[in-house]
Structure 1
Amino acid sequence: MARIAVVGGGPAGLLFAKLAKQADPAHRIDVFEQNPSDATYGFGVVLADVALDILAAVDPGLKTAISAIAEFQDRITLVHKGVPIALKGNGFMGISRVRLLQAMQRNALDAGVSIQFERRVTDPAALGDYDLIVGADGVNSAIRDALNTHFQAVKEPRRNKWVWYATPKRLDSVGLIFQSTPHGTFIAHSYRFSPELGTFVIECSPETWASAGLDAASEEDSRAFCARVFEPFLEGAPLVGNRSGWFNPEFVTSRHWHHDNVVLIGDALKTVHPSIGSGTRVGMQDAIALAEALAACGGDIPLTLATFERNRRSGADEFQDAAMKSILWYETVDERMDLDPPAFAYNYMKRTGRVSDARLRRIDPEFAALAERHELLAAI
């Protein structure tokens, strides 16, 4: 039996708490979440089908619960120079962030986990006598910051500016829309997360942002401007805001993953990036690996944390490397905007180095055939 505190009631923290309690019901597990149980900050979360497959192996009931309230989309539609190109090979589940958290809260509570809402923890020392403290409190982790002389994390704001909206336009696929303007290129990342709404996240370079006057615009003026930029795609549908200010996503890397009895998981430990998605998936994978290490090490906390890092670090580092390549591709997208649509889409698919021509032929034969007609793929 161990006394475990989880700081942060997001997907990573809640999944770890549930799995650890499931493995040993004698564990006392307390989750501390700074927000109310029904907080509605943000819009949707998207999970690739591989993430749900991973979840099905450890918590099939949760996978079923998420699938029942999610919106399924079977492709990405990339729009360049007004030409839509379908990219297949992965399925996606879009889900309202608040509904996802509510499902995961019920899942943890039903297993016997205690959740304390509106309880912000800024220092692990204030928690008292716990055998294990899990920092799952996101990109702005107070647990990481309190011990950063040990974790030696670096939080690097990226160049591009981002703003998060929703739209009632019916989105039938995950979308990537590249829109040229006199100010520069604006990029929209979109997906449906409920029958009524889809996420519509917009990205641009700081130079484009300033040229368009968005550095001095109000939230309302920014929203109206972005709706005009993407009007050909939105077809008159509005953009909906929710604390929708421009920001620079931050890229977090941590040199050390644990100190004494404190360990980081999810975005508190390391981030990927909105441009590659999968942040929720990576956090869940951390949670699964930590819960498995705890069960395997029989309550030996130092051994648990060493095992977790040994088993998880190589995969996490590989994913962060892919994320950085994706970030750099988007940050330099103006260099490729003159490509014709098939070549642009092919370049997008190859941006992280994780999709070979052979894999592309296997996962999306139709696009591979289009690429071959344009002499983009290597000969078999």
Structure 2
Amino acid sequence: MRIVCVGGGPAGFYFAISAKLRHPGDEITVLERNPPGATYGWGVVYWDNLLDVFFGTDPRSARAIRARSALWQEQRISLGGSGVAHLTGYGFSVQRAELLRVLADRAAELDVRVVYQQEVDDLDPYADADLIVAADGANSRIRQDAGDLFGTSTTRGTNPYLWLGTDRFSDSFTFAFEPTPAGWIWCHAYPSNAGLSTFIVECAERTWQGLGFDARGDEETLRTLEKIFAGPLDGHALISQAQGQAEDRPHGQDGGGPARWQRFVDVTNQHWYHDNVVLIGDAAHTTHFTLGSGTALAIVDAAMLARILDEHANDVPSALREFDGRGHRALRPMQAAARTSMAWFERADQYLDQDAVSFAYAMAGRHGRQPPWRQPMHRATQVPAVRRTLRGLHSGTRWALARRRGEPLTPRVDTAPADLQ
């Protein structure tokens, strides 16, 4: 079978890897419009369920991804200088450039043909392909050129946000809300790899305009944000342009160079395929960054599509029908949760008159009504002794899950923050 993947991001590469492992004789080509190593953005967040997919699909690349990933523990929520609260739990993050490097190298090992700096403006040159996988992002040209065949709908969020990096490394997922004369502004920060962290800045439109970000240049914007977030940054710098910055940017932002303010674009499609063309990842669906699942869902799409093709013995029409149905059913609750999360942060100012612990509880429960026992449990987890106990339990859980999926085991050593030592 001849397969063409348009887009060399995580979705396109992982589908090529997954399909090639099942059918080594298939001819699979990945077409990427950027040069090798170029990407947009900083870190990618994921959880144990994605490690299960990685190790269940291709242990070789899974081990490389895990080795390059950082572990973060707890979510730390600060409200200016008025207090700090914590949410328990853990997750992983990996620098997007490192993830793509691993996947590109693995695809090459499996004899996937990768063509860089290849624009795909129409599909006529690939008319003899048995399957065309559109993994070319939220602004998918393949999807747009098809008119309304996929039933595409887009909704733009109202909050401006800026995807930056910082040379301050943190072992927690940090939300820092800072008051300004124009209103509240906040960051979502998490480690990307040793020595770097992702730092996403978000605020309401009126705050953005009130602080003059609609008129400030790139350097002035960074210096202003460094002053606003001086506490969370602890003297470290913000970085606008990731190494190997790509021309393509997610959710509507185009052009190379420093990061630009964006508004999130929620993309849905009634149909994920037409004839022999199928959408995966952000081309098919987007989920707001406050849910932290966009790349993970793209990887799941890729692995699922390859598995279903194999189950249908490469009967493309039957496989795409099943992929469309199963994918929509699986995604529906995730997209609903992501829209709820986006809407909550768009009116976060309404909740910021609370103390940090109460605000953190409201943020944690933004997806729906909470059972009565949840609030006293949340308050209990602010006690250092309880947090230490939970970190120990989570360490054991990670070790058990790693052993179950065949992940190379490492010593169960956790570095606790200063307030737990």
TM-score of the superposed pair, with normalisation by structure 1: 0.92
Write the distance in 1 (CA, Å) between the matches of 2:305 and 2:330: 14
2:367 is the counterpart of 1:352 = yes
Q: Is the contact made by 1:271 and 1:279 (CA closer than 8 Å) also made in structure 2? A: yes
Provide the residue aligned with 1:250 in structure 2.
265
SS in 2 for 1:149: coil
Deviates more, 1:261-270 or 1:55-64: 55-64
Provide the residue aligned with 1:192 in structure 2.
191
Provide the residue aligned with 1:333 in structure 2.
348
**How far has the Cα of 1:156 moved from its partner?**
2.1
Write the distance in 1 (CA, Å) between the matches of 2:225 and 2:325: 45
- Write out per-residue CA displacement over residues 180-234 of structure 1, whole angstroms, 9 at most, x where no aligned residue: 2111111101011121211111001111100111111111111111111111111
**How far has the Cα of 1:341 moved from its partner?**
1.3
Provide the residue aligned with 2:380 in structure 1.
369
SS in 1 for 2:262: coil
The 1:128/1:239 distance shift into structure 2, 3 A limit, reads: same
> What is the correspondence of 1:139-150 to structure 2 with a 5 Å cutoff?
139-150=138-149
Letter in 2 for 1:190: A
**How far has the Cα of 1:164 moved from its partner?**
1.5
Write the distance in 1 (CA, Å) between the matches of 2:183 and 2:161: 14
Write the distance in 1 (CA, Å) between the matches of 2:172 and 2:371: 23
Letter in 1 for 2:313: G
**How far has the Cα of 1:37 moved from its partner?**
0.9
Provide the residue aligned with 1:304 in structure 2.
319
Write the distance in 2 (CA, Å) between the matches of 1:357 and 1:115: 54
The 1:219/1:349 distance shift into structure 2, 3 A limit, reads: same
The 1:278/1:357 distance shift into structure 2, 3 A limit, reads: farther
SS in 2 for 1:74: strand
Letter in 2 for 1:67: R
Provide the residue aligned with 2:86 in structure 1.
86
- Write out per-residue CA displacement over residues 4-59 of structure 1, whole angstroms, 9 at most, x where no aligned residue: 11001111111111111111112111110111112153222222232222222222
Q: Is the contact made by 1:81 and 1:341 (CA closer than 8 Å) also made in structure 2? A: no
Write the distance in 2 (CA, Å) between the matches of 1:370 and 1:283: 33
Provide the residue aligned with 1:270 in structure 2.
285
**How far has the Cα of 1:81 moved from its partner?**
4.2
2:6 is the counterpart of 1:7 = yes
The 1:354/1:318 distance shift into structure 2, 3 A limit, reads: farther
Provide the residue aligned with 1:375 in structure 2.
none
2:173 is the counterpart of 1:174 = yes
The 1:249/1:302 distance shift into structure 2, 3 A limit, reads: same
Letter in 1 for 2:351: R
Provide the residue aligned with 1:239 in structure 2.
238
> What is the correspondence of 1:64-75 to structure 2 with a 5 Å cutoff?
64-75=63-74
The 1:127/1:354 distance shift into structure 2, 3 A limit, reads: farther
Q: Is the contact made by 1:138 and 1:266 (CA closer than 8 Å) also made in structure 2? A: yes
Provide the residue aligned with 1:205 in structure 2.
204
- Write out per-residue CA displacement over residues 270-295 of structure 1, whole angstroms, 9 at most, x where no aligned residue: 00011111111010111111111100
Deviates more, 1:285-294 or 1:319-328: 285-294
SS in 2 for 1:275: coil
SS in 2 for 1:298: coil
Equivalent in 317, 321, 324 of residue 339 of structure 2:
324
Write the distance in 2 (CA, Å) between the matches of 1:40 and 1:137: 13
Write the distance in 2 (CA, Å) between the matches of 1:342 and 1:271: 31
- Percent identical residues: 36
Write the distance in 2 (CA, Å) between the matches of 1:355 and 1:22: 43
TM-score of the superposed pair, with normalisation by structure 2: 0.83
Structure 2: give runs of 5+ residues left out of the alignment: 242-257, 384-421
Q: Is the contact made by 2:5 and 2:132 (CA closer than 8 Å) also made in structure 1? A: yes
Equivalent in 308, 320, 330 of residue 293 of structure 1:
308
Letter in 2 for 1:338: D
Deviates more, 1:259-268 or 1:239-248: 239-248
**How far has the Cα of 1:69 moved from its partner?**
1.1
The 1:290/1:195 distance shift into structure 2, 3 A limit, reads: same
Write the distance in 1 (CA, Å) between the matches of 2:98 and 2:284: 25
Write the distance in 1 (CA, Å) between the matches of 2:87 and 2:162: 25
Q: How many residue pairs align between the two structures?
A: 366
Q: Is the contact made by 2:188 and 2:200 (CA closer than 8 Å) also made in structure 1? A: yes
Provide the residue aligned with 1:25 in structure 2.
24
Write the distance in 2 (CA, Å) between the matches of 1:306 and 1:336: 44
Q: Is the contact made by 1:47 and 1:92 (CA closer than 8 Å) also made in structure 2? A: yes
**How far has the Cα of 1:356 moved from its partner?**
5.5
Q: Is the contact made by 1:289 and 1:311 (CA closer than 8 Å) also made in structure 2? A: no
Q: Is the contact made by 1:322 and 1:354 (CA closer than 8 Å) also made in structure 2? A: no
